[in-house]
Amino acid sequence: ERVLGEEEFLQWKDQQDAAMAIKDNRAKEDAMHKAACDIEHGLSVLGVTCVEDRLQEKVGETIKLVRDANISLWLITGD
């Protein structure tokens, strides 16, 4: 079991932010994939949920409530 500490998270966040800033789409995708693999290695998932791809009733409100509650939220799309 691995616990993700604040320092490790902040280092990863810098890596993710740098990846997001890359202009070349292929290089950006590769850097983002590496960042995702780095952060996910050895972690156990505590909870996962899914929202259907099309925007459903109250999805926007629900996302806002989750974020306002200071819960980390990752939105992953197939786009």
pLDDT tens for 23-75 read 999 999 999 999 988 888 887 777 777 766 666 788 788 888 888 998 887 77
Please report the pLDDT score of residue 57 as a whole number.
Answer: 80
Distance of CA 31 to the CA centre of its chain: 14
Residue 19 has pLDDT above 70, yes or no: yes
Please report the pLDDT score of residue 77 as a whole number.
Answer: 65
Higher pLDDT, 5 or 74: 5
Please report the pLDDT score of residue 67 as a whole number.
Answer: 87
* Cβ pair 35, 15 in contact under 8 A: yes
Burial letters for 17-32: b for 16+ Cβ neighbours within 10 Å, e otherwise? eebeeeeeeeeeeebb
The whole-model pTM stands at: 0.55
User: Which DSSP category does 23 fall into?
Assistant: -
